[in-house]
Amino acid sequence: MGKSVIVVLPLALLLIASGQAVAQTPPTATEAFNLRIRCKQMTDQKAEALAWHEMTVADGASLGMSAADVARLNDQTRPEVLGSASSSKYDAINNRCYVRIHQHTRRQSVGRKPFELEVDQVYDAQVDELLAHAEIKDGKKSGTIWDQSYKGNRFPGGDAGWEAAITYMDDLMADPRKQ
């Protein structure tokens, strides 16, 4: 045991130091199934966290607001939900959980012009990192790819930014069995 351990350890350290990963054993079918379920749960939690929530009377009171002020604020900021969806993808090769959130709302603010907003976002749920964001606000498109490993232009702006971000999200979330 003595010499083989001495030889293997420096080799593993050399591979890690050179940026080459030591092969990871893929999850078993049961483990992958459980990881997909956990990924879906993380997606549901993220979608709930990003959804609009009314301010409670207690939260308003902590800011010096009356119950009537809280009700008025909630009425002024409550969006009309035109559509929403979320999806998850567990990537067993990279052991990552990706979450895609879509929200389409219309907002009617007192004293302000109403606007329509459609937002798509993809997150790496395990580290809660936004990887890409695309939106259409009153017909104006924009998008950004925040993923540092993305090889293209991450900040093209305007329609090109929206198109790049949507394409990135579609590719990331695609089912590898259908490619």
Radius of gyration (C-alpha) of the chain in whole angstroms: 22
- The reported pTM is 0.76
Is residue 18, in this structure, part of any structural domain at all? Answer: no
Residue 8: its pLDDT value, please? 35
As a whole number, the mean pLDDT across the chain is: 85
What is the domain count for the chain? 1
The per-residue pLDDT for 158 is 86
Q: Is residue 124 part of a domain?
A: yes
119 domain-assigned: yes
What pLDDT band is residue 24 in, cutting at 50, 70 and 90?
low
Residue 54 lies inside a defined structural domain of this protein: yes
Classify residue 8: in a domain, yes or no. no
Residue 112 lies in a domain: yes
The pLDDT value recorded for residue 179 is 59
159 vs 165: CA distance, rounded Å:
10
Q: Return the pLDDT at 143.
A: 96
Residue 10 lies in a domain: no
4 belongs to a structural domain:
no
Nearest to 154 by CA among 162, 144, 163: 144
Q: Which domain holds residue 71?
A: 26-178
Task: Report the C-alpha gap between 141 and 130 in whole angstroms.
Answer: 18
